[in-house]
């Protein structure tokens, strides 16, 4: 399990070896990291927070255009707080999981109400905001406030699972042991910790990818436990994942697409979205209303 170099090496030599690994990854990022707009100098903490929420389960390429438009329309938390929610949901478009858009607006309102319109510092205060969980609080702390935080996203999980544990994929669920590993791996010095978080995340996105990792380009290839083990394949997925086709999630998406397009709709036409299963349409409609993503007035349904 543990990497070979963990075996009884003088503390100072271990430290220097780890420092070289860290520097190699940071240097790789300086050369190969993408020029993403939310990484630019002078981008506000709010803009970075928005990017992080949009990036929750949505790939970078799809976030880019939405983020640009969003920040142009609502550059400050107060702007989003005052926006019509229907417009917010339209601008969110097809980023997926539209509850994130709702929570982001609630987040903006909480920032205005409780923090004077400024993104608060500190992971505890950040986590208290709607839609901000462990990852996003750490990411905002690191990338917006340049603080030392244990950032663990899907990319970092994969890089650590492979390079340190020698495993092809991380576990399904995020464990305390995994958090401890990420904590141990984080450089002690603040500036280096920020660079490390950014660099490892990018390494996972560009090189140590889920499908076809490009190990030949990896700054960690010489000391990667997974490479050393001969890059063993992952076990076959024990459970087939739930298909998307035919799920409530898909139907909710279809209904939201209609509401974004038309602003409102009579209820009856929505049942044409699945003539085979009106109960499903009904169920999804009710759940959207419960979630605050749609409102009913009379025989019509519209965006909130």
Partner DNA sequence: AAATCGGGGTT
Partner DNA sequence: AACCCAGATTT
Residues that bind DNA (CB under 7 A): 36, 38-39, 51-52, 55-62, 94-99, 103, 127, 130-137, 139, 153-155, 158, 169, 172-173, 175, 201-202, 204-205, 209-212, 237, 240-244, 247-250, 252-254, 256-257, 287
Q: Which of 52, 123, 178, 202 is catalytic?
A: 52
CB-nearer residue toward DNA: 3 or 58? 58
Task: Return the ∠ at Cα 31 (arms to 29 and 34), rounded to 5°.
Answer: 65
What is the C-alpha to C-alpha distance for residues 58 and 68, in angstroms, rounded to an integer?
15
CB-nearer residue toward DNA: 74 or 135? 135
CB-nearer residue toward DNA: 112 or 284? 284
Give buried/exposed letters for 222-253 (b at 16+ CB in 10 A, else e). Answer: ebbbbbeeeeeeeeeeeeeeeeeeeeeebbbb
117's torsion region: left (phi>0), alpha (psi -120 to 50) or beta?
Answer: left
Phi, psi of 22 (to 5 degrees): -60, -45
CB-nearer residue toward DNA: 112 or 288? 288
Would residue 52 show up in a list of annotated catalytic residues for this protein?
A: yes
Contact by Cβ (8 Å): 157, 172: no
Residues involved in catalysis? 52
């Amino acid at each position: 399990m543990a990497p070979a170099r963990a075996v009884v090496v003088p503390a100072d030599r271990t430290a220097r070896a780890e420092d070289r690994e860290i520097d190699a990854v940071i240097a790789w990022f300086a050369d190969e990291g993408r020029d993403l707009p939310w990484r630019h100098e002078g981008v506000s903490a709010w803009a970075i927070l928005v990017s992080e929420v949009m990036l929750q389960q949505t790939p970078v390429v799809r976030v880019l255009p939405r983020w640009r438009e969003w920040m142009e329309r609502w550059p400050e938390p107060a702007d989003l707080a005052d926006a019509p929610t229907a417009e917010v949901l339209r601008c969110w478009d097809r980023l997926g999981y539209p509850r994130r858009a709702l929570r982001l607006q609630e987040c903006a309102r909480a920032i205005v109400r409780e923090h004077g319109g400024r993104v608060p510092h500190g992971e505890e205060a950040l986590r208290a905001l709607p839609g901000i969980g462990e990852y996003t609080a750490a990411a905002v702390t690191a990338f917006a406030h340049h603080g030392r935080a244990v950032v663990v996203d899907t990319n970092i999980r994969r890089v650590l699972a492979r390079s340190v544990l020698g495993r092809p994929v991380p576990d399904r669920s995020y464990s305390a042991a995994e958090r401890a590993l990420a904590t141990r791996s984080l450089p002690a010095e603040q500036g280096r910790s920020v660079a490390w978080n950014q660099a490892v995340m990018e390494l996972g996105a560009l090189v140590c990818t889920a499908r076809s990792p490009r190990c030949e380009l990896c700054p960690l290839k010489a000391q990667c436990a997974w490479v050393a083990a001969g890059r063993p394949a992952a076990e076959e997925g024990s459970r087939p994942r739930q298909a998307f086709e035919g799920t409530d999630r898909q139907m909710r998406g279809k209904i939201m697409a209609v509401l974004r397009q038309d602003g409102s709709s009579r209820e009856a036409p929505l049942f044409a979205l699945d003539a085979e299963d009106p109960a499903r349409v009904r169920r999804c409609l009710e759940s959207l209303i419960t979630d605050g993503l749609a409102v009913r007035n009379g025989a019509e349904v519209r965006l909130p």
